[in-house]
Amino acid sequence: MTVHLLKLCVGVDSVEHLVELRQGRPLHRAADGTPCNSHVTRFMPKRAEELLDGGSLYWVIKGFIQVRQKIIGFEPVKTDQGIKCRILLDPQLVRTESQPRRPHQGWRYLEPKDAPRDLPHGAQGADLPAELRSELQELGLI
């Protein structure tokens, strides 16, 4: 059964800002050579198999889930603080419906029933700030 991760995107102001930051970094290569983005976290998720069964990392930007990346793998990484976990992510960012989330430390599991839906490509309002888009959605205007 699929499960997702939820993570705060600290220091990022918008999806566009995240795209800009990603463009400035070289892609990581998975063990099989697949180009991917990566994020290093302290622990390996205990539900890794469920995450690899179609799970995504949903990014919370400025208090709203706004975008996700498909999780494609995990690998250990040696750091000065010991062994950590590198989450391998599909480079494609998929915008989602805006969903408010409170701050939390680390990552949280997100059940599929609680995950926001993907926005259709080129959806009306996709380029609006998250708070405004959320308010317009609640009013049924987009």
- For the chain, the domain total comes to 1
User: At 118, is the pLDDT very low, low, confident or very high (cuts 50, 70, 90)?
Assistant: very high
Residues of the domain holding 94 = 4-138
| Mean pLDDT to the nearest integer, 90-110 | 94
pLDDT of amino acid 121: 73
Q: Taking 80 as the threshold, does the pLDDT of residue 129 lie above it?
A: no
Q: What is the pLDDT of residue 130?
A: 66
Looking at residue 122, what is its pLDDT?
64
Separation CA 139–CA 71 (nearest Å) = 33
User: Per-residue pLDDT averaged across 113-142, rounded?
Assistant: 72
**pLDDT band with cut points at 50, 70 and 90 for residue 120:** confident
Assign 94 a pLDDT band (cuts: 50, 70, 90). very high
Span 3-37, pLDDT tens digits: 999 999 999 999 999 999 988 788 888 888 889 99
Q: What is the pLDDT of residue 73?
A: 96
Q: What three-state secondary structure class fits 84? A: strand
The closest alpha carbon to 15, from 133, 141, 142, 111, belongs to 133
Q: Rounded to two decimals, what is the model's pTM? A: 0.85
Core vs surface per residue 44-57: b (16+ CB within 10 A) or e = ebeebeebbeebbb
